[in-house]
Amino acid sequence: MTVMGVTQILIYLAALVALAKPLGAYMARVYEGSPLWLEKAFGPIERLIYRLSGIDPRAEMAWRTYAAAMLLFNLAGMAVLYLLLRMQGRLPLNPQHMGAMRPDTAFNIAASFSTNTNWQNYSGEASLSYLTQMAGLTVHNFLSAATGMAILAALIRGLKRRLCATVGNFWFDLVRGTLYILLPLSLAFALFLVSQGVVQTFRPYARAALVEGGQPQTIALGPAASQIAIKQLGTNGGGFFNANSAHPFENPTPLSNFFEVLAILVISAALCHTLGEMVGDARQGWALLAAMMIVFVGLLAVCLWAEQAGNPRLAALGVDPRALEAEGGDPLWTQAGGNMEGKETRFGIANSVLWATATTAASNGSVNSMHDSYTPLGGLIPMLMMQLGEVIFGGVGSGLYGMLLFVIVTVFLAGLMVGRTPEYLGKKIGAYEMKMASLGILVPALLVLGGTALGVMNASALAGRANPGAHGLSEILYAFSSMANNNGSAFAGLDANRPFYNLLGGMAMLIGRYWVAIPTLAIAGSLARKRTVPQGPGTLPTHGPLFVCLLIAVVLIVGALTFLPALALGPIVEQLRMMGG
Amino acid sequence: MWQELKTQLKPALAMLAWMTLLLGIGYPLLMTGLAQALFHRQANGSLMREGERIIGSELIGQPFVGDGYFWGRPSATSPTPYNAAASTGSNLGPTNPALTEAVEKRIAALRAAEAGAASPVPVDLATASASGLDPDITPAAALYQAPRVARARGLSEEAVRRLIQDHGKPRTLGLFGEPRVNVLELNLALDKLAAGK
C-alpha cells in the first residue's frame, strides 16, 4: 500500500460520504412528489409522458398491481431488445455492418440488460451497431436502474405507511427516478466525460497509418459517452467497448476514472439517506450506510494488499514489483509496481483495486482492470462482494432493498435472542416477512452454487475455461456469482458465449432479479397494512453501533457459510499454491 | 393477478415506446450534438494528424518493436497487438504457466536488446495491459529503455532522458492516477529530435 494510493482512496471515501446527504435528501423529494427545481425543465416532459401513456400518476397501487406493472414493463423491454439484437443488420446507424446476434446470445443480452446485470457475452466494438447501443442498451441502462429505485421507494412507503392498502404508483416512481435523478446526472456527466476524451460520434471507425509502419490501425468509435455516463450511475456496468472502462475511449484520464468510480456508488450510498429522510429518522439511514462502509473498507484493504504485493512467480523471473516513488531521488524511477497484468498504467494498483471492489460491492460490474488476472486473494474479494448478495451498496435501489431483507433477518435473530417480537421502524416483523426475506436471500445463493455445479459437469461449460486448475473453477464460480446477483463483471477469460452459459445464465439473471424484487414488494404491501407499535423497553434500537455490528455479522455469516467451501476450492487453494511456489 | 396484468399492459407498452424515444434517440443525439460542438476533437477520438493523414490517437497505444523506439505495454489483442477494433486483456490467471512463459519471453527480449542489461524489469513492461491499448508506460519503464534507444538513435543518454522528463505526465493535481509517459507522443518527439540532430 503506497501513501499516494491510500490518499486517493481516502479522498474517494470522503467524497462519497459528503454527497450522500444532499443527494439522498433530494431523491427523497423526488419520490415523495415534492416540488423540484428541475421541474421547470423536465416537468412538461413528465406530464407529456403520463398523458401519452394514458397514466394517472397519482393513482395508488396495491403491491400486486405495482409488481404487475413492473414485470410487464420489464418483459416488454426485454422482448423489444431481443428483436433489436436479432434485426440490427437490417436497421440504420450501423456503419460497420454488424449482423444479427445468435438467438441464445440475444436472449442472454436481453435478460442481462433488462435485469440491470449487464453481463456481456459479446464484444461491443466487434458486434453491436450504434443503433443497438443507443436505442437498446442505453435505454435499458436507464430503465432497469429506475426500476430498482422504484421498488425501493415502494418498500420505504411500506415501512412508513400505516393501515394502508397501497405502496405508491410504479409509473410515477419510474418516470420521476428517470427524469429527475438519472437523466440530469447523465447529461452533465456525459459532457464531462467527452471533455476528458470519451468518444461521442456517429462516424465510422477511423483508420490510422502507424508511426512504425505495417498494417494500418482501425480505431473503433461510437456514441459512447452518453452510454457510459448512465452505465456508471445506474450500476449497470455494460461497456461500450469490450475492455469496458479499461479502454482509453471509455475512461481516458485519472479524473474521468475518479468520477466514474464515484458514480458507481454515489446513488446507492445516498439512497441510505433517502430512506432515513422518508421514514423521518435520518439515523436509520446512517446506520445502514455505516454497515456498508465498514464491510467495504475492510474488503478493499485486503484486495489492495494482495494486488500491491504482486505475483511472486513473476518477481522470481526478474520483474521488479516494488512500488517506486522517485527511487534514489530520481523522479523518473517511479512505478506503481504490484500485479500489473491486466491493469492500465494511468490507474496503477490503487485505482484498479478501488474500482474492482466498488464495482462488485455495487452491482455495477464495469471494470477498469481485468479481474481474471488478479492474484487469487485479490480476485476473491470481488467474487465475495457479489456473493454477499449485492447488499454492500449494491445496485441502485436493489442494493438497499436487499440490505433491508438482511435487516429483517437481523431483527428477527435479535428478537429470538431476547424473546421479543421483532420490530423494525415500529412495524412488527411476522412470519410472512421472514419467509419472504429468506426467499430473497437464499434464491440467489442457490442459483450461484447450483449453476456452478451444473457448469463443472457440462463439457461445453468446461471447454469455455481460459485458465487451468483451480483458477478455471474460479472462472465458472465467478460467472454464476455475477449473473445470479445481477452484477455483470466477469473473470473474462471464460468464453461464455455458449448456449450453456447463455441460457442457464440468462435464467439465473431473471430469477436472481425478480425472485428478490417480488418478495420485496410483497413485504412492502404487508408492512403498509400494519399498524405501528410504540417503542418499548424491549425494542432493539436499529440506529446504534450494536445493531450495525449485528447486521454486519448476519451478512458475513450468511455469505461465508454459503460460499466458503466453494471459495476454498477456487481462489483459496490457488493462493496457497502461488505462495508455495 | 390477471386483472392487474391486463390493466397495466397498455401503459407498459406506451411507456416503453416513449421512454425509448427519449432515452435511446433524444438523449444520445443531444449529447452527440453538444459533444461535437463543444469538444470536437475529443468526441471524435483525439486523433493525431500529419497533414491530412491520420497517424493515430493520442489515447490509443501503437505497437513499437524497433530498437530506436520506446516500446509500450505488451498487448493481448488479436490477431495483432494494439488492435483498436478488438480491445482485450490477456485474462491469464496468476498461476497459469502461459503467463509465466509470456513474461519470461518478454524479459528475455528486453535483455537481448540490451535495455538496462540484467537489472529488474519494471513490471508494466513485462505484463499485458487491461485494454490491450494502454497508451502509457511508467516513467521507470521509459527510463529502463533509455540506453537502448539512445544507442540506436545515436543520441546521448542524457538527451533521451530529458525527452522522457519533458513528456512525463505527473498525477493530475498532484493527487489522482499514476505518473506516466505517453509512448506515441514520446516516440514522435524522439523522431523529431533525431531528425533535427
The predicted complex's ipTM stands at 0.96
Q: Which residue has the cell 437523466?
A: A183
B52-83 pLDDT, tens digit per residue, is 899 999 999 999 999 999 999 999 999 999 99
Q: How confident is the model at residue A213 (pLDDT cuts 50, 70, 90)?
A: confident
Chain A residues whose CB is inside 8 A of the B129 CB are 246, 342-345
pLDDT of A343: 98
Mean pLDDT of A278-289: 97
Task: Tell me the average pLDDT of chain A.
Answer: 96
Q: What residue of A is the nearest CA neighbor of B162?
A: A332
State how far the Cα of B130 lies from the Cα of B109, in Å rounded to an integer. 21
Place of cell 516494488: A322
For residue A482, give the nearest of A400, A417, A386 by alpha carbon: A386
- Using the CB atoms, write b or e for A308-324: b if 16+ within 10 Å: bbbbebbeebbbbbbbb
Residues 107-126 of B with CB under 8 A from A: 107, 118-124, 126
Residue whose C-alpha is closest to residue A174's, from A145, A199, A202, A196: A145
State how beta strands B53-57 and B47-50 pair: antiparallel
Residue A485 pLDDT > 90, yes or no? yes
B193–A contact, CB cutoff 8 A: no
CA triplet A492, A494, A497: central angle to 5 degrees?
Answer: 100
Contact at CB, A258 and B176, closer than 8 angstroms: yes
Longest Cα–Cα distance in chain B: 83
Q: A314: nearest CA in chain B?
A: B100
User: How far is residue A540's CA from residue A547's CA, in Å, rounded to a whole number?
Assistant: 8
Mean pLDDT along residues A219-238: 97
Interface of B with A in 44-103 (CB under 8 A): 44-47, 53-57, 59-66, 69, 73, 80, 82-97, 99-100, 103
Using a CB-CB cut-off of 8 Å, the residues of chain A touching B194 are none
Name the residue among B16, B108, B77, B159 with its Cα closest to residue A248: B77
Does the distance separating the beta carbons of A191 and B31 come in below 8 Å? yes
Quick check: B11 and A471 CB within 8 A? no
- Is the pLDDT at A405 greater than 90? The verdict is yes
- Asked if B28 and A229 touch (Cβ cutoff 8 Å), the reply is no
For the record, the C-alpha cell of A179 comes out as 427524469
Rounded Cα–Cα distance for residues A574 and A567 (Å): 10
pLDDT at site B118? 62
CA angle A561/A297/A351 to nearest 5° reads 120
Is residue A529's pLDDT more than 80? yes
pLDDT-based confidence at residue A581 (cuts at 50, 70, 90): low
* Cβ distance of A332 and B143 shorter than 8 Å: yes
Interface contact flag, B188 A211, Cβ < 8 Å: yes
Whether A347 sits inside 8 A of B178 (CB atoms) is yes
Instruction: Burial-class residue B41 by CB neighbours within 10 Å (0-12, 13-18, 19+).
Output: exposed
For residue A76, the distance in angstroms to the closest alpha carbon of chain B comes to 7
Q: Do B164 and A332 touch (CB under 8 A)?
A: yes
- Considering only CB atoms, which chain A residues are within 8 Å of B128? 341-342
Point out the least confidently predicted range of A377-386, A429-438, B27-36, B106-115.
B106-115
Three cell numbers, residue B185: 507522443
Residues of A in Cβ contact (< 8 Å) with B16 = 73, 76-77, 80, 143
Is A469 in contact with B95 (Cβ distance < 8 A)?
Answer: yes
If you search the block for the grid coordinates 493515430, which residue do you land on? B56
| Residue A302 CB contacts under 8 Å (≥ 6 apart), including other chains | A377, A381
Please check whether residue A297 is in contact with residue A10, taking contact to mean a CB–CB distance below 8 angstroms. no
- What is residue B165's predicted lDDT score, i.e. its pLDDT? 96
pLDDT for residue A538: 78
A267 pLDDT exceeds 80?
Answer: yes
